[in-house]
């Protein structure tokens, strides 16, 4: 077997390969592509929707199903506009914007300052200046004064487009949890500390989206808000920070590909007392760089006390033992579904130069193996009849139909068997089941393991149990 090289190409080459594989094999398509695409929107194809659903399922299992002290929620995207006044988003959820008066290009002022040295090499030994001193990095034109641009998308309920009818697409799912805090406590009878978990779409009118599905205007969050006594907030912050890193590692991302980044006081969001990003070695972060995958935040009592103030409804917790009332603090774990999917794809991509199968045909080309964790793999098993002869087809289809009762499987009878193995390797299918002419005599099939390349001969009647053991 040829040597397996991890990320054979340069790091940015890896990104291009993932974008190309994602489109070609049906993981991720540019949205509305026949109309030239819609900037920074993406659609998940047949394999992508399975992968994404598996990521969400794995998160829900860890964060809700296994936890006696966390319950789920699914709040609507459109919420009462007062929610965003209370949360501080109307006032503070802004990016600083400048335009070039000459070429009309638009920039984020904070990004210009961050990138000062790379944008203005002649000043590389000077400290970054103020925005007012900078000029357009594209055409050297004069920049407008900086103005704050609110990132919330707005629309109107009902036919009249006035202030009273204005609503926003939620920029974070978290607020849906806070406004339902009291209803959840009453209906689920949870005691502190406890959590409310939610997966759902959020929207941010980013000025500079980019890097494929990393920063998009429409995206999906998986967030958990953990309500605690204020004195216990620090302990739980550390606990959840560790558990969230463990989760990514359980699903195959090595510790060396993760990094923790503590937010400095001046970059903390308006609601945060402390924030640590769990970062992943995304290829576009530069050599040895990392970018945010998930954030763990201590939001203190900011959200609940603001909603209490703005709604006039009490959102406190009464300690049963002491009878004391207080506003719980919140530790939030906030991850991006799309970013997790992208990280798992990037992490799983391996190139085998010269191929790893023994057939002559396969040896000619380099081979891609997507080593996704088996719980995340979109297709759990492929059924590959060795030929299209009727007697094999009948047996193979029967196997497919039986397995499809419990697993997402794929039937593929087209092309050489080596080619079909490679197609499955490229999409990360953990098990390939070959139905051959011996099957007609011994009622057994060959099951090949994607990673060990080990082949087991398994009786058809035991196949369901065999796979059940692998996936339980």
Pick the closer one to its own copies by CB: 12 or 65.
65
Pick the closer one to its own copies by CB: 3 or 66.
66
Pick the closer one to its own copies by CB: 338 or 367.
338
Dist. CA 28–CA 213, nearest whole Å = 9
Pick the closer one to its own copies by CB: 123 or 468.
468
329: enclosing H helix or E strand: strand 329-336
Least CB distance from residue 156 to its own copies, whole Å? 7
Pick the closer one to its own copies by CB: 290 or 411.
411
Q: What angle do CA 301, 304, 309 make, to 5 degrees?
A: 110
Q: Could you tell me whether strands 325-326 and 317-318 are parallel, antiparallel, or unpaired per DSSP bridges?
A: antiparallel
Dist. CA 254–CA 285, nearest whole Å = 17
Dist. CA 268–CA 262, nearest whole Å = 10
* Residues whose CB falls within 8 Å of the CB of residue 97, separated by 6 or more in sequence, listed in order: 106, 107, 108, 109, 146, 147, 148, 149, 207
Pick the closer one to its own copies by CB: 22 or 362.
22
Least CB distance from residue 65 to its own copies, whole Å? 6
Least CB distance from residue 227 to its own copies, whole Å? 14
Backbone angles phi, psi at 201, to 5 degrees: -75, 145
Pick the closer one to its own copies by CB: 294 or 412.
412
Collapsed DSSP state (helix, strand, coil) of residue 432: strand
Least CB distance from residue 129 to its own copies, whole Å? 24
Query: Taking the CB of residue 34, how many other CB atoms lie within 10 A of it?
Result: 6
The reply to whether omega before 110 is within 30° of 0 (cis) is no
Least CB distance from residue 85 to its own copies, whole Å? 10
Could you identify the residue written with the tokens 């193979």? 396
Least CB distance from residue 272 to its own copies, whole Å? 23
Least CB distance from residue 196 to its own copies, whole Å? 8
């Amino acid at each position: 077997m040829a040597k397996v090289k991890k990320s054979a190409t340069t790091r940015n080459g890896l990104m291009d390969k993932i974008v190309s594989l994602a489109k070609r094999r049906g993981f991720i398509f540019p949205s509305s592509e026949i109309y030239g695409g819609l900037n920074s929107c993406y659609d998940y194809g047949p394999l992508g929707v399975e992968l994404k659903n598996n990521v969400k399922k794995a998160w829900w299992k860890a964060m809700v199903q296994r936890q006696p002290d966390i319950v789920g929620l699914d709040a609507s995207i459109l919420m009462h506009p007062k929610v965003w006044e209370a949360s501080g988003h109307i006032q503070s959820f802004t990016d600083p914007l400048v335009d070039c008066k000459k070429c009309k290009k638009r920039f984020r002022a904070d990004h210009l300052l961050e990138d000062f040295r790379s944008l203005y090499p002649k000043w590389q030994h000077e400290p970054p200046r103020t925005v007012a001193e900078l000029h357009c990095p594209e055409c050297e034109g004069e920049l407008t004064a900086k103005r704050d641009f609110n990132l919330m998308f707005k629309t109107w309920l009902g036919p009249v487009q006035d202030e009273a009818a204005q609503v926003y697409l939620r920029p974070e799912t978290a607020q849906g949890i806070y406004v339902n805090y009291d209803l959840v406590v009453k209906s689920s009878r949870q005691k502190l500390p406890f959590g409310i978990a939610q997966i759902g779409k959020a929207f941010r009118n980013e000025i500079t989206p980019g890097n494929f599905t990393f920063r998009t205007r429409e995206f999906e969050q998986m967030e958990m808000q953990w309500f605690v006594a204020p004195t216990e907030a620090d302990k739980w912050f550390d606990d959840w920070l560790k558990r969230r890193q463990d989760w990514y590692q359980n699903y195959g991302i090595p510790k060396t590909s993760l990094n923790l980044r503590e937010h400095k006081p001046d970059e903390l969001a308006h609601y945060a007392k402390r924030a640590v990003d769990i970062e992943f070695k995304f290829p576009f972060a530069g050599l040895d760089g990392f970018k945010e995958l998930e954030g763990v935040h201590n939001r203190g009592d900011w959200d609940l006390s603001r909603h209490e103030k703005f709604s006039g409804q009490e959102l406190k917790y009464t300690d049963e033992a002491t009878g004391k009332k207080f506003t719980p603090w919140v530790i939030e774990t906030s991850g991006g579904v799309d970013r997790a999917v992208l990280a798992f794809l990037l992490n799983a991509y391996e190139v085998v130069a010269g191929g790893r199968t023994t057939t002559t045909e396969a040896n000619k080309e380099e081979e891609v193996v997507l080593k996704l964790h088996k719980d995340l793999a979109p297709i759990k098993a492929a059924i590959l009849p060795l030929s299209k002869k009727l007697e094999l087809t009948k047996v193979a289809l029967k196997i497919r139909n039986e397995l499809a009762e419990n697993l997402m499987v794929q039937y593929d009878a087209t092309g050489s068997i080596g080619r079909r193995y490679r197609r499955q390797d490229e999409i990360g299918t953990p098990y390939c089941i070959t139905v051959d002419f011996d099957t007609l005599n011994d009622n057994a099939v060959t099951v090949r393991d994607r990673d060990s390349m080990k082949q087991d001969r398994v009786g058809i009647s035991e196949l369901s149990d065999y796979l059940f053991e692998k996936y339980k």
